A and B are shown apart, each in its own frame.
Chain A
Amino acid sequence: MRKTLLALAAAIGLLFATTPAANAYEPVNIVHTERVQVGPYGMTVGFSTWPLRAMQSLDFTFIPDDGIAGKSGTLAFVNPETGRLGRPQPLAKHPRKLEVWGLDIRALQIEGSWTFRFEIDGPAGKGAGELRDLAVLEQPGPPMAVSWSISLIPLIVLAVLITIAWRRTKARLRGNGLPATV
Chain B
Amino acid sequence: MDLTAGGARVASVARSERTGLIPAGTVLAGSVISLVGLTWDIQWHGDVGPDTFFTMPHLFLYSGSAISGLASLVVVLMTTAARRAGLPIDARVGGRAINVFGKVFAAPAGYLVTGTGAAMFLLYGLWDQWWHGLYGFDAVIDSPPHIGLLLSITLSIIGTVMVFAAAREHRWGSVGVVGSLGVLIAFSTVTVLGLEQIDVDGLDVVSVGIALLSVLLVSAGGGFWGRPGGAIRVAAALAVIQAITWWFSPWAAEAYASAVGLPMRDYIDGVPAMPSMMPMALLPIAAVLEVVYLLSRRGWSAGRVSVPAGGIGGLLVGASMPIQNSIVYESSLDWSIVVMTAGAGAVFGLLGGFAGWRFGGMLRLLAPAKGDNAHA
Interface residues of A (CB under 8 A from B): 19, 22-23, 25, 55-58, 89-90, 92-93, 95-96, 98, 104-107, 140-141, 144, 147-148, 150-155, 157-158, 161-162, 165-166, 169, 172-173, 175-179, 181-182
Q: Does B173 contact A (CB under 8 A)?
A: no
CB distance from A59 to the nearest CB of B (A): 9
* Contacts A154-B148, A155-B151, A176-B304 known; 4 new A-B pairs at CB < 8 A: A57-B136, A58-B136, A151-B151, A154-B151
Interface stretch, picked from B86-94, B174-182, B354-362, is B354-362
Q: Does B57 contact A (CB under 8 A)?
A: no
Tell whether, in the assembled complex, residue A150 and residue B127 are in contact, meaning their CB atoms are under 8 Å apart: yes
Tell whether, in the assembled complex, residue A95 and residue B138 are in contact, meaning their CB atoms are under 8 Å apart: no
Tell whether, in the assembled complex, residue A154 and residue B117 are in contact, meaning their CB atoms are under 8 Å apart: yes
Please give me the residue from chain B that is nearest to A93 by CB atom. Answer: B266
Tell whether, in the assembled complex, residue B266 and residue A177 are in contact, meaning their CB atoms are under 8 Å apart: no
Q: What class of interface size applies to chain B in its complex with A?
A: 35 or more
Please give me the residue from chain A that is nearest to B113 by CB atom. Answer: A161
Tell whether, in the assembled complex, residue A95 and residue B127 are in contact, meaning their CB atoms are under 8 Å apart: no
Q: Which residues of B contact A104 (CB under 8 A)?
A: 49-50
Q: Contact check: which of A147, A152, A158 meets B155 at CB < 8 Å?
A: A158
Q: Does B303 contact A (CB under 8 A)?
A: yes
Residues A151 and B144 in contact in the complex (CB < 8 Å), given A57-B135, A166-B358: yes
Q: Which residues of B contact A157 (CB under 8 A)?
A: 116, 120, 155
Residue-by-residue, is B44-84 near A (CB-CB < 8 Å gives 1, otherwise 0)? 00001111111100000000000000000000000000000
Q: How far, in angstroms, from A96 to B51 measured CA to CA in the complex?
A: 11
Please give me the residue from chain A that is nearest to B148 by CB atom. Answer: A151
Q: How far, in angstroms, from A152 to B195 measured CA to CA in the complex?
A: 12
23 contacts between A and B (CB under 8 A): A22-B53, A23-B52, A55-B138, A57-B137, A89-B267, A98-B263, A104-B50, A140-B134, A148-B144, A148-B197, A150-B127, A151-B147, A151-B148, A151-B194, A152-B148, A154-B151, A166-B362, A173-B358, A177-B361, A178-B226, A178-B302, A178-B361, A182-B226
Q: Which residues of A contact B155 (CB under 8 A)?
A: 154, 157-158
Please give me the residue from chain B that is nearest to A140 by CB atom. Answer: B134
Q: Which residues of B contact A153 (CB under 8 A)?
A: 120, 148
Residue-by-residue, is B289-333 near A (CB-CB < 8 Å gives 1, otherwise 0)? 000000010000111101000000000000000000000000000
Tell whether, in the assembled complex, residue B267 and residue A92 are in contact, meaning their CB atoms are under 8 Å apart: yes
Q: Does B122 contact A (CB under 8 A)?
A: no
Q: How far, in angstroms, from A90 to B229 measured CA to CA in the complex?
A: 48
Q: Which residues of B contact A96 (CB under 8 A)?
A: 49-50
Interface residues of B (CB under 8 A from A): 48-55, 113, 116-117, 120, 124, 127, 131, 134-140, 144-145, 147-148, 151-152, 154-155, 158, 194, 197, 223, 226, 260, 262-263, 265-267, 296, 301-304, 306, 357-362, 364-365, 369-370
Best-buried of B158, B197, B266 by chain A (most CB within 10 Å): B266
Q: Which residues of B contact A93 (CB under 8 A)?
A: 263, 265-266
Q: Which residues of B contact A166 (CB under 8 A)?
A: 358, 362
Residues A182 and B370 in contact in the complex (CB < 8 Å), given A169-B362, A177-B303: yes
Q: Which residues of B contact A105 (CB under 8 A)?
A: 49-51, 136-139
CB distance from B139 to the nearest CB of A (A): 7
Total number of A-B contacts with CB less than 8 angstroms? Answer: 140
Q: Which residues of B contact A89 (CB under 8 A)?
A: 267
Please give me the residue from chain A that is nearest to B51 by CB atom. Answer: A105
Q: Contact check: which of B51, B54, B134 meets A22 at CB < 8 Å?
A: B54
Q: Which residues of B contact A55 (CB under 8 A)?
A: 135, 138
Please give me the residue from chain B that is nearest to A98 by CB atom. Answer: B263
Tell whether, in the assembled complex, residue B296 and residue A92 are in contact, meaning their CB atoms are under 8 Å apart: no
Tell whether, in the assembled complex, residue B365 and residue A172 are in contact, meaning their CB atoms are under 8 Å apart: yes
Best-buried of A89, A151, A182 by chain B (most CB within 10 Å): A151
Q: Which residues of B contact A148 (CB under 8 A)?
A: 144, 147, 197
Tell whether, in the assembled complex, residue B369 and residue A173 are in contact, meaning their CB atoms are under 8 Å apart: no
Tell whether, in the assembled complex, residue B136 and residue A95 are in contact, meaning their CB atoms are under 8 Å apart: no
Q: How far, in angstroms, from A58 to B362 measured CA to CA in the complex?
A: 48
Q: How far, in angstroms, from A93 to B262 measured CA to CA in the complex?
A: 12
Tell whether, in the assembled complex, residue B52 and residue A22 are in contact, meaning their CB atoms are under 8 Å apart: yes
Q: How far, in angstroms, from A180 to B52 measured CA to CA in the complex?
A: 53
Q: How far, in angstroms, from A89 to B269 measured CA to CA in the complex?
A: 12
Q: Which residues of A contact B266 (CB under 8 A)?
A: 90, 92-93
Q: How far, in angstroms, from A22 to B54 measured CA to CA in the complex?
A: 7
Q: Contact check: which of B151, B223, B360 meets A152 at CB < 8 Å?
A: B151
Tell whether, in the assembled complex, residue B369 and residue A182 are in contact, meaning their CB atoms are under 8 Å apart: yes
Please give me the residue from chain B that is nearest to A162 by CB atom. Answer: B359
CB distance from A54 to the nearest CB of B (A): 9
Q: Which residues of A contact B296 (CB under 8 A)?
A: 176
Tell whether, in the assembled complex, residue A177 and residue B151 are in contact, meaning their CB atoms are under 8 Å apart: no
Q: How far, in angstroms, from A179 to B372 measured CA to CA in the complex?
A: 15
Q: Which residues of A contact B131 (CB under 8 A)?
A: 141
